[in-house]
Structures are given as structure tokens and as C-alpha cells.
Structure 1
Amino acid sequence: MASLSSTLGLRAASSALLDTATNHAPAYLCFHFIFAYAVLSSRPLKQWYGLDHNESPRYDLLKYGDAAVASGTITQAQLEMMRRAEAASANAVENYTFFVAAMSFATLAGLERDVINKAGLVYTIARVAYAAAYILIGHPLWCQVRGFTWWWVKKLGSGNNAETHHFREYRNGRYIRRLAVKIATNDDTARDIRNELSTLQNFESAWHVNSTVAPTGSIDEASLPQLVVAIEYCDNGTVQQLMQRLRRAGIQLPNRMLWAMFLCLGRYTPWEDVLDQVNIPALGRRVQVKLHPELRKDYIDKDLMDLLVRCQATNEQDRPLLEELQKTVEDAVARPASYYSNIPGIDPSKETDEAITGIIQNYVLNETSYFWPSDIPLPDAPDTPIALTPLNVPLPASPISPL
């Protein structure tokens, strides 16, 4: 029978023991599931301090935490500890999938069992120590034991001269904001990055330009390996995420919103012309519409469809001039909802200011769950929809005017 140290991978096992060693991956997976979802759950702490509300437990601290401190029911330190417990549980849940994948692939690949057991043991020790430090340490300095102030989320994109990454910023263990950080990949682009930073700072008051931000701490630029630019990350997601949410809900964007988005694209910096005679996606879409006529979008404004076709013309002479494009789109954006009252295939009730306000409220301002980090409490939705400027008011001609 293999010794405990050999089974756990702490000591090299003989070739005879390798064949008889037990793979403890299932046991580790069960332990970490219980550890993440039960042991680290903040519910016991909230029940102990009388803050648990079973009808909506995820928002207890957000709704009742500060009031409990003000009334003297709990201290601020106890509230911060419960918040850290929620974050520690969310962190363990987020990484559980990665751990499951790692142990599963290692087992399927036929990795030696003692190596799998050792990896599971090391991860378990690290996870338990991390959780203990996360929950129990609230000192601004000593809390750095569990990690860094800036937490990398994902890589947003890269080019020849720079990379852009998504970061979350924490201060004293509490979430502050999300940032997009652009990092120069070579010394030759330092001047370009500085020019970009200067340009962004000149447009601080523009509605369509994200503001630059400074790091939490004092960072000496000379200590950084490359020049960086940090700007605000889209708080309410990207256009692609909005499309995904609308597609899941079966919502069709009103024509007045489509025209407004087109107006933004008309002001967008042009990119390299890649249009040619070959359009494989369009050919496939044409076949789909023939087989499934219900895919044809009759509700789209015919003027918008015609303009889109002209913009994609292979021959440059057939495309609209920028002046014509700007004038056409601005006139369309200024149309009132009543314009669509007698157009076949278009439901005029979906073109009203109220319908547009509802879409923005429900699928832009409220629907943060698709991209909001799971260890950060969701903000409370306002009791009443935010009042928006009606789109039937003509827009100024300024290139940075709000839509």
C-alpha cells in the first residue's frame, strides 16, 4: 500500500507504487466545490450578525450593511469582513472551473497520479491560505499578502505597437473601478503613446471619449518597463454585448436607434478599404433568407437599408460622399416617432421615446449581469427610468455632440 506522502505526491514513489496510487482528483474537486459554495459563503456570517434576508441574500450587505453600522448593530470592521467573505467566495467560485478543467485534462492525458495529487494538494493549500488572508486581514498594508492592488481580467486586443488589457482596481481590498490599460510594446512607440495621452486629455469633456485616469498609488513612470495609458472601461459594456443581450431577449432595435448608431459610425475614423467582389457571409445569408423567409427583417427602414448598400458598393463612385452621408443620417435621426406610423412592416409603437427609453434602461443601464464581475455587488437599479432626451430633437452639427 502506498504511503500517505507518496500518494499525495510529496515524495517520489517507486514504479510499483505508481500503478497502485489512487488518483485523488475527484476528492479534490468535491472538497473545492463545498469549500467555494458552502464554507466560504457569507450567509453564516450574515445570519450571525442578523443581516441575512433569504428573499434576496446577495444584496444584503449592499442594502442593509451601512444602516446596520449606523445603528450600532455591527461595526464597520465586521461589515468589511463580511464583504471580503463574499469576495473570497466569488473568487473561489470563479477559479473552480479552471481547477476542474486542469484536473480533468491531466487525468485524461494520463499524467502520473502522484503528480496530479501533488498539484491538487498545492492548489488546496494555496486556496485555503488565500481565503483566510482575504477574510481575516483588513489592514491596508498587510492585505497585500493575498495579491496586488491591480487585478488583470483579460486581454482586450493587441497591435503592432501596443497591447490593451482590462484591469480591476482595488483599494484596501474594496473594488474601485475597471480600467482599460494600453501598454507600449516597444520603445519606438513611446512618442505615439504620449501623443495619444495628450489628445485624450484635450477631449476630457467630450461625451464620446473615455476619460484618462491616474493609478491609485503614486507610480514613478521611470519604474515602468513601458509607457502606459489608463482610461475608463465601458461601464455598461460594449455594442457587441448589447447585441448579445438584445438577441437573447428577442428585442429588435427601433429604427431611430439604428439611425443614431449610424450617425456615430459616420463620424468614426475611416479604416483601410477591404471591400471586394467576394462576400461569403452575404452569400450565406442570402441562402438562409431563401430557405427561411422569416429571417428577412421587414421592420428596418428602407432608407437605412439603401444607404447601407450604397456604403458597401465595390465601386467608390457608387458610394455616398461624406457630406451626403452626414446630411442624410442627421435628417433621419431628427425624424419623430410619427414618421413611422404609416410604413408597412414597422410597428410605430416601438419607435416612440418611451420604447427607446425602456430599451436603454433595461438592456444598457440595468443589464450589467452579463459582464459585471461576480465578486462585485451589482448596483441597485433606479426606482424610475432615467429621463432621456427625446430623439426627435434635431442634433447639433458638432462632431462631438451627444446622441
Structure 2
Amino acid sequence: MSNSVSDRVSSFISHNNPLKSTSVHNELDRAAAWNYGPVSILAAFAGSHLILQHRLPKLFYGVDDNVYPRQDLHGDRAERHVATGKLTRAQLNRLRRWEAAHYNSVDHLPVFVGAVLSLQLAGVPNRLTNRVCAVYLAARAAYAGLYITVESEGLSWLRTLAWWTSNLTCIYAFVESAKRINHNVGTGTVAL
């Protein structure tokens, strides 16, 4: 009996598998060939300027000063937040790491934009651009998550690994772009 049930389930899945559909297969192939470079730049911008924006958690804790927002987590003001009980020391430290992750991501965004634009200008295959973008965005997401949450010295090296992964990914993009642009330079013809 169980054999017939498993056979029916297997048959149902086989006949109703959307991945076997020609139109779905064509759409997936087409989507895999798209160039996600510009969308990845938008995602990196959203991550650095919106998702990692540390003003929202400061508002949540009631410690955001719109007149001097960069001083909220530093100096006497930060110590007053702890002394008055608005923040615990652990919350203050986490907000400081969040702020640092935000600023680092903002600082790193132009490097990624340059890397993606160089890939676009060099005309590298979309799959390479997409791979570079996926690795970079995953590394930066890991970096931010680790920066905000990890307090241990040993585990903080994972953040460093994620940071270097994002840097090396951009360097790789620049090198690949340069190779493509300078292809056949000695013969008088260039890739562009």
C-alpha cells in the first residue's frame, strides 16, 4: 500500500513539476542571463544607507538627537545614556558597532560601484558580473551582521574575513575588467 501512495506522490510531482515546463525553463534561463549589476548597486546602497542606518535603533531607544546625531553614542552624552538607564553598556556597545558598520558600508559603496561599472564598461559576460555582485553582497551582509552582533575577539575575525572577501571581490572585478579592456592592445585593437 505504501508503495502505491509513494508512486502516486512521485507521479503527481513529476507531472506537476514547474521546472519541467518549457516556458518556466526558458524564463529561468533568461533570468540567469540578465545583468544584475545595476540592481546590485541599488541593493548595496539600500543596505548601507537604509538597512544599516543606525538612527532607527537610536530612535527606538530614545537616544537620537537630530541636531547632533553623530555625538549620540560618544563622549559625555553616551555615558549619560548609560548612567540614566536609557541604555545598558551592552546596548551602547552594540549601537556603536552598528554605527561603525553603517559608516564602513557607506565608505565601501563607491568601490563596489566602480567595480560594477568597470565590468559593465568592459563588456564582461553577465554571469561574471552577477557572480561578482552576489559574492560582494553576501560578504557585505555577513560583515554587517557580524559587526553588529559579535562581541568576541575570536569570532570578530570572521568579520575581517567577510571584509576582505568584499575587497578581493572588487579587486577581482577591476582585474577582469582591465584584462577585457586591454585585450589585443598590442595589435592595435581593443575590446571596447
TM-score, length-normalised on structure 2? 0.66
Tell me the distance in 2 between the aligned counterparts of 1:37 and 1:92: 8
Counterpart for residue 87 of structure 1: 100
The question of 1:69 aligning with 2:94 is answered no
Tell me the distance in 2 between the aligned counterparts of 1:118 and 1:104: 14
Counterpart for residue 55 of structure 2: 43
Contact 1:137–1:143, Cα closer than 8 Å, also in 2: yes
The question of 1:145 aligning with 2:162 is answered no
Query: What does 1:4-403 align with in structure 2 at a 5 Å threshold?
Result: 7=32, 21-63=33-75, 64-147=77-160
Per-residue Cα deviation, 1:64-102 (whole angstroms, up to 9, x for no partner): 211111222211110000000111011111111000000
Tell me the distance in 2 between the aligned counterparts of 1:110 and 1:2: 23
SS in 2 for 1:138: coil
SS in 2 for 1:111: coil
Deviation at 1:55, TM superposition (A): 1.0
Structure of greater relative contact order (alpha carbons < 8 Å, 6+ residues apart): 2
RMSD: 2.0
Deviation at 1:131, TM superposition (A): 0.4
Which segments of 5 or more consecutive residues in structure 1 lack a partner in the other structure? 8-20, 152-403
Q: Quick check: which one's helix share is greater? A: 2
Q: Is the deviation greater in 58-67 or in 33-42?
A: 58-67
Q: Quick check: which one's strand share is greater? A: 1
- The change in CA–CA distance for 1:111 and 1:74 in structure 2 (over 3 A counts) is same
> Which one-letter code corresponds to 2:151 in the other structure?
G
Tell me the distance in 2 between the aligned counterparts of 1:118 and 1:128: 15
Contact 2:63–2:86, Cα closer than 8 Å, also in 1: no
TM-score, length-normalised on structure 1? 0.32
Per-residue Cα deviation, 1:17-50 (whole angstroms, up to 9, x for no partner): xxxx211111001111111011101101101111
Contact 1:6–1:114, Cα closer than 8 Å, also in 2: no
Contact 2:147–2:156, Cα closer than 8 Å, also in 1: yes
Q: Aligned residue pairs: how many?
A: 136
User: What percentage of residue pairs aligned between the two structures are identical?
Assistant: 35
Deviation at 1:5, TM superposition (A): 10
Pick the structure with greater CA Rg: 1
Which segments of 5 or more consecutive residues in structure 2 lack a partner in the other structure? 1-25, 165-192
